[in-house]
Amino acid sequence: MNVLEINCVTKRFGNLVAVRDVSLNVAKGELCAIIGPNGAGKTTFFNLISGFFPPTSGAITFDGRDITKLSTHQRVTLGMARTFQITEIFPELTVFENVRIAAEVAGGYRLRPWINRAEAAQVHARVEETLKQVALETKTDRLVGELAHGDQRAAEIAMALALKPHLLLLDEPTAGMGDQETYQITQLVRRLHRDSNYTIVLIEHDMRVVFHLADRICVLDQGRMLAQGTPKEIADNETVQAAYLGNAA
């Protein structure tokens, strides 16, 4: 069963075609990595999936439902969650408070002036469960702005997980990290995929991370889908080597 189906999606900005006739299917439980040189259209493609931009043409289906014209908020409600290349958190709040905000959104409580004791207990339990998933249970009372960059990224991922997503979109999860933090986030993503069976699509520039994690790799180049395949197939693809991997080596 495909969680995500993207059919011939194109995005134009005036005369600029940022994404051209791209199709992609993502199966339940799959981890699909999207790579490509700078300007390949990766972030625009993510913005189309998550609803920040409407496609100029083409269709997007999520869990069997056409979401092409749905807003970002509507897609979140249906079970899609995204992190960003630049970490999106509330630095002045604690780790627990950051994740609680997302858990309250998932529970439908954010627009209510109060929630009862049972509902509050459910939210609290959800937050604690999520913080254990990302190994931040010992830092619940720390201000997120005071954490190391890797822990801030883990907190952002926890906020996404608290939304109870069917699809997790990770935009450059190791951006700006040193080797140790990159290793920690890579291991976190691996646990979410292998142990918790999350369906994940990620953009990543670090080829070590991509080839370590991905079931399938999709290569974008100048807005087009250049190739799709297993890590071995992509590594052996001469066209990909010429367009990207060879330049990055």
pLDDT value at 249 more than 50: no
Mean pLDDT of 49-60: 96
Kindly report the CATH number assigned to the domain that includes residue 213: 3.40.50.300
pLDDT value, residue 110:
66
pLDDT, residue 84, reads 82
- Find the DSSP H helices in 4-71: 42-50
* Domain match, 75 and 4 both: yes
Query: Do 62 and 171 belong together in one domain?
Result: yes
Would 14 be classed as within a structural domain? Answer: yes
Q: How far, in Å, CA of 69 to CA of 66, rounded?
A: 8
Give residue-wise pLDDT tens across range 226-238: 999 999 999 999 9
Q: Are residues 153 and 171 in the same domain?
A: no
User: Which residue would you say has higher pLDDT here, 27 or 118?
Assistant: 27
Provide, rounded to the nearest whole percent, the portion of the chain with pLDDT above 90: 82
Do 19 and 75 fall within a single domain? yes
Average pLDDT over residues 33-51: 94
Expressed in percent and rounded to 5, the helix, strand and coil fractions of the chain are 40, 25, 35
Q: Give the residue-averaged pLDDT of 138-144.
A: 96
* Parent domain of 102: 89-164
Q: What is the 3-state secondary structure (H, E, C) of 58-125?
A: EEEEECCEECCCCCHHHHHHHCEEECCCCCCCCCCCEHHHHHHHHHHHHHCCCCCCCCCHHHHHHHHH
Number of domains in the chain: 2
With respect to residue 249, please indicate whether it lies within any of the assigned structural domains: no
**Average of per-residue pLDDT values in the chain:** 92
The model's pTM is: 0.91
Confidence at residue 112, expressed as pLDDT on a 0 to 100 scale = 65
Residue 72 forms part of a structural domain? yes
Angle (deg, nearest 10), helices 95-107 and 117-133? 120
Whether 184 is covered by a domain: the verdict is no
Are 171 and 54 in the same domain?
yes
Higher per-residue confidence, 176 vs 246: 176
Do residue 95 and residue 154 come from a single domain?
yes
pLDDT, tens digit (0-9, with 9 covering 90-100), for 181-236: 999 999 999 999 999 999 999 999 999 999 999 999 999 999 999 999 999 999 99
Provide mean pLDDT across the span 158-167.
94
